[in-house]
Structure 1
């Protein structure tokens, strides 16, 4: 689909014209390759974790119209057309049938070359192999993987095996601008033992910034532990199916994973939910508390939130997620990590998204924000209503939970508050201020 998305829809009058332009783009790849593989996403998954993202894209494109894709039918606005999932499904199936028909009639594949198409037919599991002489079903490459990003890996391993069978060492170019593909190629490069060079071509022409990224060189430059955990941390820090954490960018994540081997321990253990949760929590706590000033609170993000919120000049935007919200976030990252780490197998793991941070709403999978009490219930338990001369001395909800009172409490968290935790906080801030004056 990447090739189609980069095509200028204004150049083509009908779907048939678009399909011929697509086929010519594929055939042009034979100028530098013996084998060309085109892999498509599948759009027949009833409940997809990418469903919410796809609906958002359609909404941004302001298009919900579904077209019937016929060879002679006029081509609508391509960008709006591709924003609707059903349109994509129909187009992919049409392209597969069109290529098969044209190749069989006119022998368009050059002699000695091979074209593979994966996921482009009514049954998206299958792969077809096109040569000058014939079209064959390639059963060994059939796959249930939903995304082209993951299915690409299966084809890379197959190409590497063909290098081994022929006694040669080869070069592979993957055409994709998706960061997910780069991450997966770095992770699985160790399996490509007969591939000397693995390149990713980003963009398709000078206009959209065509350039080549040497994955083999990147892999060699990375610390040995990084490729192993790269897909997990990419998911944890934000991708199409997992939200990012406010204020935490990819650069911060990458820097920490490269500098500290121990902080990455346990991140590969996606099968054990508790080990994985603890490893993710430890990593995220370091992102928000880079100097480990509150290391004793890294085992509970609620405690770390409190420490950071009550520090001098706190930034509420820099607080980590609450513990309950983080657990749901980790489950979604865990699900995506399991899918990515199994990209080298034909049959994708059968896992229920509703057990991993997702719920079904109006027939679509939606992320679960958190499980537990809502904000109003929590605040009622954390904000005291103490009055009288002995404010916050007896029966104070803040004091009973060993928390200082805050400006939201009736006492305002001021000097007159008799909660010793409030007093200690005020004294601590005063001492910090005095230390800065001395410095």
Structure 2
């Protein structure tokens, strides 16, 4: 496109205000999905502040991502009853020093932005088991877990098995909460009861775990331990820690050791303003559902935010509302210009594209920032994901359709599927 523009003496600046290919390569991968980044780099940077707990309080609440738990199990050759028994043993071992343990499962909605990511990972490619029974023996556990319906039915089956008297006896004095779809149940030695206060339409376990942390805090628990290695959980917990009256900890694992991060202490060290900006920054610089910028990592973006109070204030507004104001888009556009050239005073993304192209011969399109049209769509997606995270303490947040928020519906073999809406304008002038 650029060569054509030069040969025909077109206005190169005008040409570069459009995307230079079928997709905005600064944001899109060659297969048309979102460009990925190393999410954990943000976590490593944040955790450089001294925050490792020297000891853990007794009588805590332990919150476990249910699907992360079952993904780690080896179910090959075992019956579903065996798997339920082994899973409960794992839960009780994980929560050995806790009086309350919550198992929170994801909910699988096809009309959601998470569904797109799951499909890209191979979800719904597994063989569906129509009815899970205790005596059914699993041949391929990983294949079984590739079906969203299987995972939904497994959560229901685990509740049924754990609710039996012989399983409840194993709880001792512990209280077990477990979710299935939009409901939550409390299991004790005495019986099983539905918990209306924890019914929720939230889809992600990452956010719903914080809803459970809030419930534990309200019901008198002084400390809550989140068991997760996901950067999303770290970011969300830091952003919401000041809304909880309990001490919050995060249990993380590496190949060599287990660490307990004192989230409450870390949040105080980082500062309230930075913590409130993190969900916006994390979604904007790349997560499971939103693209990263090619060649631009999270650590450099974090440093840029920390140096500029205006940027910190702007990212606190990402996700605060479902709609994005022109003022916020202008601020994000300026931030993106700084990401690509920290010494430049250019604040318009199209002008930055032109300046970078002229500054270095042989620049590839993916090395340039996205044009304004594509960046505006990216901002909508980042704002939408940020808004979901920021509403983690609401049981039933009102979440609008992702259509018109950076996604669209396309016809795939007669079935309308959610797809990324990359741009509005044409490929060139």
TM-score range, shorter chain: 0.7 to 0.9
Contact 2:340 2:369 in 1 (8 A): yes
CA distance in 1, matches of 2:199, 2:229: 24
Q: 2:128 aligns with which of 52, 66, 78?
A: 66
Question: What is residue 417 of structure 1 aligned with on the other side?
Answer: none
TM value normalised by structure 1 = 0.76
Residues 326-368 of structure 1: CA distance to partner in whole angstroms, max 9, x if unpaired?
1111111111111111111101222110020111233321111
CA distance in 2, matches of 1:209, 1:14: 32
**Deviation at residue 217 of structure 1 after TM alignment:** 3.0
- Structure 2, gaps ≥5 residues long: 1-66
Contact 2:128 2:149 in 1 (8 A): yes
**Deviation at residue 285 of structure 1 after TM alignment:** 1.5
- Structure 2 residue 150 is the aligned partner of structure 1 residue 98: no
- Structure 1, gaps ≥5 residues long: 165-169, 382-439
**Deviation at residue 13 of structure 1 after TM alignment:** 1.5
Question: What is residue 42 of structure 1 aligned with on the other side?
Answer: 107
Distance 1:108 1:261, change over 3 A: same
Give 3-state SS (helix, strand or coil) of 1:283's partner.
helix
Greater relative contact order structure (CA < 8 Å, 6+ sep): 2
Q: 2:88 aligns with which of 15, 18, 23?
A: 23
**Deviation at residue 313 of structure 1 after TM alignment:** 4.8
CA distance in 2, matches of 1:125, 1:65: 24
Q: 1:192 aligns with which of 244, 250, 255?
A: 244
CA distance in 1, matches of 2:159, 2:146: 20
- Structure 2 residue 171 is the aligned partner of structure 1 residue 137: no
Distance 1:341 1:73, change over 3 A: same
Contact 1:16 1:72 in 2 (8 A): yes
Contact 2:162 2:168 in 1 (8 A): no
- Structure 2 residue 292 is the aligned partner of structure 1 residue 241: no
CA RMSD after TM alignment? 2.1
Question: What is residue 365 of structure 1 aligned with on the other side?
Answer: 418
Q: How does 1:342-381 map to 2 (within 5 A)?
A: 342-361=391-410, 362=412, 363-374=416-427, 378=428, 381=429
**Deviation at residue 47 of structure 1 after TM alignment:** 0.5
Q: How does 1:77-92 map to 2 (within 5 A)?
A: 77-92=140-155
Distance 1:106 1:153, change over 3 A: closer
**Deviation at residue 259 of structure 1 after TM alignment:** 2.0
Give 3-state SS (helix, strand or coil) of 2:200's partner.
coil
- Structure 2 residue 113 is the aligned partner of structure 1 residue 52: no
**Deviation at residue 304 of structure 1 after TM alignment:** 1.0
Contact 2:176 2:187 in 1 (8 A): yes
**Deviation at residue 209 of structure 1 after TM alignment:** 5.2
Give 3-state SS (helix, strand or coil) of 1:9's partner.
coil
CA distance in 2, matches of 1:80, 1:14: 15
Q: How does 1:112-261 map to 2 (within 5 A)?
A: 113-118=174-179, 120=180, 124-163=181-220, 170-193=222-245, 195-196=246-247, 198-203=248-253, 210-261=258-309
Give 3-state SS (helix, strand or coil) of 2:314's partner.
coil
Contact 1:157 1:192 in 2 (8 A): yes
Aligned length: 353
Give 3-state SS (helix, strand or coil) of 2:106's partner.
coil
CA distance in 1, matches of 2:117, 2:257: 25
Distance 1:34 1:80, change over 3 A: same
Question: What is residue 388 of structure 1 aligned with on the other side?
Answer: none
Larger Rg: 1
Distance 1:80 1:207, change over 3 A: farther
CA distance in 2, matches of 1:156, 1:340: 15
Give 3-state SS (helix, strand or coil) of 1:238's partner.
coil
CA distance in 2, matches of 1:366, 1:326: 17
Give 3-state SS (helix, strand or coil) of 2:251's partner.
strand
Contact 1:264 1:283 in 2 (8 A): no
CA distance in 2, matches of 1:255, 1:283: 12
**Deviation at residue 312 of structure 1 after TM alignment:** 4.1
Contact 1:63 1:81 in 2 (8 A): no
Distance 1:40 1:76, change over 3 A: same
Distance 1:278 1:132, change over 3 A: same
Give 3-state SS (helix, strand or coil) of 1:352's partner.
coil
Distance 1:98 1:208, change over 3 A: farther
